[in-house]
Amino acid sequence: MLTIELSPKKLEEENVDAKIVLVIAKDLDHKWVRDKEMLIRMGFKGESEEILFMPTSNTVYVGCDSLDTEEVRLAASKALECVKKTNLRSLAIGTYTGECPGQNVKALVEGFLLGSYLFDTYKSKKEPPKLERIVLCLEDYARPNISMESATKALKEAKAIAEATNFSRQIVNGIPNDITPSALASIAQELGELKNVTCKVMDEHFLQENGMNAFLAVNRASIHPPRLIHLTYTPKNPKKRIIYVGKGLTYDSGGLSLKPSEHMVTMKADKSGAAAVMGILKAAATLELPFEIHAIVGAAENMIGGNAYKPDDVLVAKNGKTIEVRNTDAEGRLVLADCLCYAQELKPDLLIDMATLTGACVVALGEFTTGVMGHNEVLKNAFVNASTNSGELSATLPFNRYLKKLIKSSVADISNISSSRYGGAITAGLFLDHFIEDAYKDKWLHLDIAGPAYRENAWGYNPFGASGAGVRANLYWMLDLAKD
């Protein structure tokens, strides 16, 4: 496992196998660039994400357009990418503090730990990287050195955030054969061993007794019973009660509205919302954030069979609202509807649901961006700002009265899909809005992470597969809230 250490030594004094030097804004003249003539000869310009390993000086040079935190994260991960097939066991790097000293130390650590993630669970021949440690020297490339106290705080936060993200990635990457609703509940129960964290797991009998019929219907044809998972982190004197609800479809075949075969591949990722809320609570407990935090997961599997729920069925949700089923592949919102009703019984100060809910959100925003929806503009903007600082891309999608009319039903209170193919991400959010009580509408955010949660290509510091979407954004947001 990669470790990151802090050192008061100068970069050149650190005894390591190689050093990392970031070339900021194509500046080949700063004090740590020892190979300027050779870099020029090799055609190295110092452009963003450009990498060159100079074995004669044992230096990894990485281009950075600026000292923006996201540029620094990318540069750190690219440095690891450059050396991952070498026999180097230790690296050192100085600090590049820019305008916010702690933030860029944090960005370096996050870049290294996120970039070091490797999913090889199902490989018969594993090739773990040789790199064991990175030393972060507190010597700065252009400003006064950062203090050990500030760097230690930044390291602690970055480590907790990155490890929680990698924890979520690991869950999402797990195959449906292994990560069933019960297995997901077992992972949650392990989190119950953390300080101030408890875990309750409710079965199908609890769901039935509590009128969570929409949730039950989705899982009806699976041989694996559903689970309602409720994790709670309770510090002393919490400032707020924040409740997260995560979609935990451990596999989604589409049900009787069966997906085409090419769309079924990657559907193990339909538990990304569940993995994210579990990761968020894990990091919050590690960092001892001053909020009472709940992570509620609706764990289910949407399969086909003689007892599967059907288009034309009418389901009665926990709050008594009736739902006409017109497409069994719009199942995540049914599970979330009941889980949101359950969550509001806990009287949240803030309520956030996270889900790989719609392909329409990917069409609207692309594969790299989370859709943010809700009624409270201040809340949405605060979240988007924190998301940007975390390095995650997000954008708001606006509710409107005309789209709301498209999910009306002639036979029930509401239809589970829109009557139009357009605006599908927003109409899904508006469906969930039917299950948010008036008292909580201004306290609620809906995050559609369908785009960035899982890609079959590496991007930035995200490998092939799960990215842990939403974990960093929410933790940065809560760190901002903790300052208020």
Active centre residues (catalytic): 259, 333
Instruction: Output the CA–CA distances (angstroms, integers) from residue 140 to 75, 94, 145, 184, in the order listed.
Output: 16, 6, 5, 44
Nearest Cα residue to 466 out of 182, 285, 296, 275: 275
Starting at the edge strand found earlier in the chain, the sheet holding 90-95 runs 3-7, 133-140, 90-95, 18-24, 59-64, 51-54
Torsions phi, psi for 395 (to 5 deg)? -150, 150
Helix axes 101-115, 148-173, angle to 10 degrees: 30
3-state secondary structure 73-137: HHHHHHHHHHHCCCCCCEEEEEECCCCCHHHHHHHHHHHHHHHCCCCCCCCCCCCCCCCCEEEEE
Q: How far apart are CA 19 and CA 30, in angstroms?
A: 15
| Residue the block writes with tokens 């989705």 | 218
Contacts of 298 (CB under 8 A, 6+ apart): 215, 226, 228, 245, 246, 247, 248, 274, 335, 336, 338, 339
Cα torsion through 122, 127, 130, 135, rounded to 10? -30
Q: How many CB atoms lie within 10 A of CB 291?
A: 19
Q: How far apart are CA 390 and CA 382, in angstroms?
A: 12
Q: How far apart are CA 484 and CA 474, in angstroms?
A: 16
